[in-house]
Amino acid sequence: MPQRFSTARGREFGEVVRAAISASGMTAQRVAELVGWQEGKLSDFVNGKIGCTETELALLLGVCRTPAQERDHLLNLLPETQVRGWWQQHGSRVPARLRTLVKNVAAAKTLTMWHPHALPVFLQSVDYMRAAISAAPNVPDEEMDQRVKAAQELQGLVSGRDLRCTFHVHGMYSASVGAGGLIALSRSSAVTPIRSRTRRAASSQPGSVRRSRVLTTWHNGE
């Protein structure tokens, strides 16, 4: 069996499958029986130790009565759980709440961001958020409160815990933020420091992605 490794897609896939099983109200043993698996196989599957076919996943989600939106999300993720990196495309506008970003920020130990022309959401005041959202031509007015709430959720994930944050803003300044709040603002090059800083952080803890927890994001627009 080929070696399986941790990826952002794979972690989200496992979390959503576990949530689907829990939402069914049945025990893992009962779910396994209905799917025709041994309970150990179900455990290995949800923990990423083994894979499954699309038919097996569809049967599992049918047994759990998983809502159609979550079912389609998992079926789309299944063939890509071992793909490293994740460039997501969202159509005409970004969703109000980016659940993949939320999950990975919550798990990260280091967060590095580069913004060419605006403050990152983690440094925005509510007034700034509302002004930025209002300026987006594809965002309807009725989504304002939902998007502000989602942005505040992200801010809550980086405060009060041991997360080292570096924000490169406008291609000129670098803001370093730790658990105690804003530490320093200094001139820096936009892209090169991000790449070198990320490599050093990753190499300082060799092993799986799950151990290093380095999250790097690029925002070119909203």
Domain co-membership, 65 together with 135: no
Q: Do 199 and 105 fall within a single domain? A: yes
Structure pTM?
0.58
Percent of the chain with pLDDT over 70: 73
103 with 209, same domain: the answer is yes
Token look-up 């151990």 returns 211
Structure tokens at 56: 């097996």
DSSP assigned state of 4: P
CATH (domain of 65):
1.10.260.40
63 and 104 in a single domain? The answer is: no
pLDDT at 172: 52
Cα–Cα distance, 170 to 185 (Å, whole number): 12
In a domain, 70, yes or no: yes
- pLDDT tens for 19-74 read 999 999 999 999 999 999 999 999 999 888 888 999 999 999 999 999 998 999 89
2 Cβ partners below 8 Å, 6+ apart? none
Question: Same domain, yes or no, for 114 and 206?
Answer: yes
Q: What is the pLDDT of residues 75-101, one digit of tens each?
A: 988 888 887 777 777 778 888 888 888
Asked if the structure places residue 49 within a domain, the reply is yes
Report the domain count for the chain: 2
Q: Do residues 14 and 73 both lie within one domain?
A: yes
Query: What residues contact residue 70 under an 8 Å CB cut-off, 6+ apart?
Result: 16, 20, 61
Claim to verify: residue 141 and residue 208 sit in the same structural domain: yes
Give me the domain span that covers residue 73.
Answer: 8-80
| CA-based nearest residue to 108, from 218, 217, 222 | 217
Token representation of residue 116 = 């060419």
Residue 137 has pLDDT above 70, yes or no: yes
Per-residue pLDDT band at 5 (split at 50, 70, 90): low
Across the chain, what does the average pLDDT equal?
76
**Contact status, residue 174 vs residue 187, Cβ threshold 8 Å:** yes
- Among 156, 74, 145, residue whose Cα is nearest residue 121: 156
Q: What is residue 176's predicted lDDT score, i.e. its pLDDT?
A: 54
* pLDDT value at residue 170: 66
Residues 154, 192: one domain? Answer: yes
3-state secondary structure of 121: helix
In a domain, 85, yes or no: no
Question: Are 104 and 74 in a shared domain?
Answer: no
